[in-house]
Structure 1
Amino acid sequence: MTASQSELRKLLREANYIWKDSPLFEKKQSYTPAEAQRAYKQLGQLVAKKSINPRQASAYRRHIASRVQVTLKPSYTAQAARWAKAEIVRLTDAGALTMKSAAAYQAHITKRTIGA
């Protein structure tokens, strides 16, 4: 083994050590919709820079989607309900909410709309 090969192996071991100690993407226990969208953009940038592969990014996106929390109200006016439903659709289109979660949120809003 030449000196350059041993140096290369040493650098690879150090890079692997750094990778394990400082992850590129920090997972959280819960996300607001805005935090979820920022995280999705960050994941897109990491994939574009080839820091992580698309499969890893997909796993992170599934993690985020399962932990998005939307603040719900006990009651809604007709106008507030329209705005909230539009917001739910926007978040679903952006990928911050799963279809199943979006349907549950819309049902919650519909059930609690005053004067509808």
Structure 2
Amino acid sequence: MGQVTVRVGGYSHPVSCEDGQEAHLISLAAEVDRRVASVKTMGGSYGEPRLLLLAALLLADEVHDLKVELSQARAGIMPAVPPTDPHLAERLARVAERIEGIATDLGKS
């Protein structure tokens, strides 16, 4: 059984994995760390659990979108090219606020 220590959001975590999967696990942890860093740029003061939750939600959202795209590709459906949205930054800010609200509500329970 392999064992590595990964660093995510400034915290070290020892993690076990199958032998030979250490580099892959380190790569996955680096992706999570990038997501945690992006959450930190949204502002606010979050503890480690909330940072990891928000990073997981971002990753889950991306996985969902990829599954939809894959399903459409397998069905032969070509995705429409979305029009350029001049208010994209504002929409993304509202989404970030909603995520922060969810995180706040989760922190209260």
- What TM-score, normalized by structure 2, do the two folds share? 0.24
* Bigger-Rg structure (1/2): 1
- What TM-score, normalized by structure 1, do the two folds share? 0.23
Structure richer in strand, relative to its length: 2
Structure richer in helix, relative to its length: 1
Q: Which has the higher contact order (CA 8 A, sep 6+)?
A: 1
